[in-house]
Every structure is written in structure tokens, then in C-alpha cells.
Amino acid sequence: MNGNIRIKLAFLEALKGYRLIITLPSLSSFEMRMVLRAFEAEVVFIDPAQGMIGAFEEAEEIITKISNSYIIQQFENLANSKVSCLCTFWYLEPWKLA
């Protein structure tokens, strides 16, 4: 999950009063940590050598302990790439007209 998505989720979590737990490599930037904490997201740090696989495995372990929880599947959700392409198209369109 990239930084922008983390921040957006933390913002929504704070706005709606949800609980958000994010698995994050321990080498993540200080700024990212502070933004997530400002929105009261819980951050679980993992060994950076484990990479995305380690983050996903940690998230899977967490949801087994918390009822009514799930993992947002950024890379497995086909709609994610469609929305990204659509938004990018509309964002770039004005540049084509100039």
C-alpha cells in the first residue's frame, strides 16, 4: 500500500471513527509515522527485510485476532487499477489541451 493510500485511509478512519491498523516497515519515514499517528491510526512495524510479503502476513495474523476486520487488497482489486487509470486520464487531459 503506498503512502497516499495510507494517509487517505487514516483520514477516513479518523473522520468515521473506524479502527485502522497499518503494517509498516520500521524504516518508514518519520513524516509518514507522524501523519498516521495524527489521524490516530495504529501502526505495527515490521522488519523491512520482510517487505510486502511480511506486511501482508502480519496483517493476516492481526485479522485473525479481531472480529469483523479485513485486509484492503490494493493489488488484488481490479477496480483499483481502473480507477487509477481513469483519474490519471482526467488529470492529464487538460495538459493535452494546452
Q: What is the mean pLDDT of each run of 10 residues along the chain (98 residues)?
A: 78 91 89 92 93 89 92 73 61 47
Tell the CATH topology of 3-97: Rossmann fold (3.40.50)
Residue-level pLDDT at 65: 95
37 CA to centre of own chain: 14
Residue-level pLDDT at 3: 67
Packed helices 3-16 and 30-38: angle between N→C axes, nearest 10 degrees: 20
Residue extents of the structural domains in the chain? 3-97
Residue-level pLDDT at 2: 62
- pTM here is 0.72
**CA 79/CA 82 separation, integer angstroms:** 5
Residue-level pLDDT at 81: 65
Residues whose CB falls within 8 Å of the CB of residue 10, separated by 6 or more in sequence, listed in order = 20, 22, 35, 36, 39, 40, 41
